[in-house]
């Protein structure tokens, strides 16, 4: 007799088990699906976050790249291109001047002595070397009998103070200065001089005007061009001996001295006193020759200390048309040169004379000192020792009190 209740119970259990298994499976499936959904959502959220971050990074990179490119472009457009364009213009101009076989007028030099010595003459030396210009073609035009400075550059020299009486020259130059001390362009006075020189050497003479040099090196003086750039246009060499310069009788083993008022050495009582002490001190050791000209050809005023014992003033042996030439030859013969940092102080080391260049305000001297130090190092120059008077004062080195 089949046991129906047990069978039914078993069947029920089996069905229940089956259903339970199905329930478990579906539960597992749904949990798995839910998990997958959750993970998918998580992944989607992560992807969205990553995409947002990537977009942010990309935009930030693009932005910084754009800023960088703008900056570079501004730099290239604002500085490099004008500089390259200026360089190319100047070089083309110089190339045009150098080509052919006709005479070349270099000058007229009407600006400061310091710029002439430290930049113009080395620039012309570079010009004749670089473009292989025969010095026989070159006519230098300057003032003060400085033909020796152009000895290896120009075979001919025109003295401006032989073309004009000193007073007229000074007056015309002063009128020119109302525009700018530097010769950034060809002024009316320049043109007038050039006409006179052309009349002597031929109307087709090419002109190498100082404005080319001023345009090329101005940015260096302002601190916007590198030393490398400036030196690439300058060639420093010792200055040769001048001819037919009447040098006055000089004491043996003397110190040449030239102090004048300038922006770098103001003409105040304190400086006069300090310099007086310095000269008195030196004069106790060596005869001192003062290179005071007594001429008023520029805005600088000479400091006169001729009343001190052991000090000789050679002003009487200089004429306007040879004053710088005479000073050059005196400095060449001196054991040392001492003077205001500027003018012939830049020249003295090129003559092989040890130089003490004194200043009290270096504001406008920084780039010149920088160039001069490198220039002198590149040639067999005399020792160049710049001295800030403030350093002596602060160090309490009282020059006049130093024992003999």
Of residues 10, 36, 59, 224, which one binds other proteins by CB under 8 A?
224
Residue 328 vs 360, nearer CB to other proteins: 360
Counted residue by residue, the chain has a size of 404
Residue 110 vs 389, nearer CB to other proteins: 389
Cis peptide before 35 (omega within 30 of 0): no
Of residues 255, 256, 330, 348, which one binds other proteins by CB under 8 A?
255
- Shortest distance in whole angstroms from residue 46 CB to other proteins: 21
Window of 103-111, 120-128, 222-230, 294-302 that interacts with other proteins by CB under 8 A: 222-230
Residue 201 vs 229, nearer CB to other proteins: 229
Q: Tell me, what DSSP letter sits at residue 164?
A: S
Taking the C-alpha atoms of residue 297 and residue 274, their distance in angstroms, rounded to an integer, is 26
Residue 150 vs 376, nearer CB to other proteins: 376
CA-to-CA separations, 288 to 165, 281, 335, 337, in angstroms, rounded: 31, 10, 10, 10
Q: What is the DSSP string of 330-342?
A: HHHHSSEEEEESS
Using rule CB under 8 A, residue 220 touches other proteins: yes
Residue 40 vs 366, nearer CB to other proteins: 366
Using rule CB under 8 A, residue 5 touches other proteins: no
CA 277 vs. chain centroid, Å, equals 33
Contacts of 64 (CB under 8 A, 6+ apart): none
Of residues 181, 196, 219, 308, which one binds other proteins by CB under 8 A?
219
Q: Is the Cβ–Cβ distance between 364 and 264 less than 8 Å?
A: yes
- Phi, psi (degrees; rounded to nearest 5) at 380: -85, 75
With vertex at residue 184, the alpha carbon angle to CA 235 and CA 134, rounded to the nearest 5 degrees, is: 40
- 357 sits in which H/E element: strand 354-359
- Shortest distance in whole angstroms from residue 368 CB to other proteins: 10
CA atoms within 13 A on the CB side of 210: 26
- Phi, psi (degrees; rounded to nearest 5) at 340: -60, 140
With vertex at residue 216, the alpha carbon angle to CA 127 and CA 225, rounded to the nearest 5 degrees, is: 120
- Shortest distance in whole angstroms from residue 255 CB to other proteins: 7
Of residues 118, 282, 311, 347, which one binds other proteins by CB under 8 A?
282
How is residue 157 written in tokens?
């020299």
- Shortest distance in whole angstroms from residue 330 CB to other proteins: 16
Q: Is the Cβ–Cβ distance between 357 and 340 less than 8 Å?
A: yes
Residue 46 vs 377, nearer CB to other proteins: 377
Q: What is the x/- site pattern for other proteins, positions 45-84, by CB under 8 A?
A: ---------------x---x---x---x------------
Contacts of 316 (CB under 8 A, 6+ apart): 248
Using rule CB under 8 A, residue 244 touches other proteins: no
How many residues at the interface with other proteins, by CB under 8 A?
54
Q: What is the x/- site pattern for other proteins, positions 325-344, by CB under 8 A?
A: ----------xx-x------
Of residues 227, 266, 296, 306, which one binds other proteins by CB under 8 A?
227
Residues of this chain, 147-166, that bind other proteins according to CB under 8 A: none
- Shortest distance in whole angstroms from residue 96 CB to other proteins: 16
Of residues 90, 362, 378, 379, which one binds other proteins by CB under 8 A?
362
How is residue 335 written in tokens?
């054991």
- Shortest distance in whole angstroms from residue 379 CB to other proteins: 15
Contacts of 257 (CB under 8 A, 6+ apart): 279, 282, 288, 289, 290, 291, 311, 337, 338, 339
CA-to-CA separations, 277 to 231, 271, 284, 384, 400, in angstroms, rounded: 37, 10, 11, 21, 4
Listing from the earlier edge strand, what are the strands of the sheet with 156-159?
A: 156-159, 138-142, 104-106, 206-208
Residue 225 vs 298, nearer CB to other proteins: 225
Using rule CB under 8 A, residue 397 touches other proteins: yes
Residue 194 vs 356, nearer CB to other proteins: 356
Residue 20 vs 227, nearer CB to other proteins: 227
Residues in contact with other proteins by CB under 8 A are 60, 64, 68, 72, 219-220, 222-229, 231, 253, 255, 278, 281-282, 285-286, 335-336, 338, 354, 356, 358, 362-363, 365-367, 369-370, 373-374, 377, 383, 385-392, 394-397, 399, 402-403
């Amino acid at each position: 007799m089949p046991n129906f209740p047990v069978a039914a119970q078993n069947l029920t259990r089996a069905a229940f088990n089956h259903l339970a298994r199905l329930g478990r499976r579906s539960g597992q499936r749904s949990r798995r699906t839910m998990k997958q959904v959750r993970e998918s959502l998580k992944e989607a959220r992560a992807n969205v976050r990553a995409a947002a971050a990537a977009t942010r990074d990309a935009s930030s990179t693009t932005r910084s790249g754009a800023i960088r490119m703008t900056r570079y472009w501004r730099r290239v457009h604002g500085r490099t291109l004008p500089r390259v364009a200026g360089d190319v213009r100047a070089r083309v101009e110089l190339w045009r001047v150098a080509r052919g076989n006709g005479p070349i007028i270099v000058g007229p030099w009407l600006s400061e002595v310091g710029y002439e010595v430290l930049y113009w003459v080395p620039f012309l030396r570079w010009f004749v070397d670089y473009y292989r210009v025969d010095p026989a073609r070159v006519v230098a035009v300057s003032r003060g009998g400085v033909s020796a400075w152009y000895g290896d550059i120009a075979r001919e020299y025109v003295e401006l103070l032989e073309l004009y009486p000193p007073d007229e020259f000074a007056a015309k130059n002063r009128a020119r200065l109302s525009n700018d001390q530097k010769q950034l362009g060809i002024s009316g006075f320049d043109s007038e001089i050039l006409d006179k020189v052309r009349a002597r050497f031929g109307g087709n003479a090419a002109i190498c005007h100082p404005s080319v040099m001023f345009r090329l090196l101005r940015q260096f003086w302002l601190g916007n061009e590198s030393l490398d750039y400036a030196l690439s246009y300058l060639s420093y060499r010792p200055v040769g001996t001048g001819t037919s310069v009447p040098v006055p009788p000089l004491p043996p083993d003397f110190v040449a001295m030239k102090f004048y008022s300038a922006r770098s050495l103001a003409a105040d009582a304190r400086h006069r006193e300090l310099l007086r002490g310095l000269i008195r001190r030196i004069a106790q050791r060596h005869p001192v020759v003062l290179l005071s000209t007594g001429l008023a050809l520029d805005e600088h005023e000479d400091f006169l200390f001729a009343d001190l014992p052991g000090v000789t003033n050679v002003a009487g042996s200089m004429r306007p048309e040879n004053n710088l030439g005479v000073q050059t030859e005196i400095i060449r013969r001196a054991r040392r040169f001492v003077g205001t940092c500027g003018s012939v102080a830049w020249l003295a080391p090129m003559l092989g004379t040890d130089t003490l260049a004194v200043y009290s305000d270096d504001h406008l001297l920084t780039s010149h000192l920088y160039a001069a130090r490198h220039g002198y190092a590149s040639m067999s120059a005399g020792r160049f020792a710049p001295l800030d008077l403030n350093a002596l004062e602060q160090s309490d080195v009282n020059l006049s009190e130093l024992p003999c």
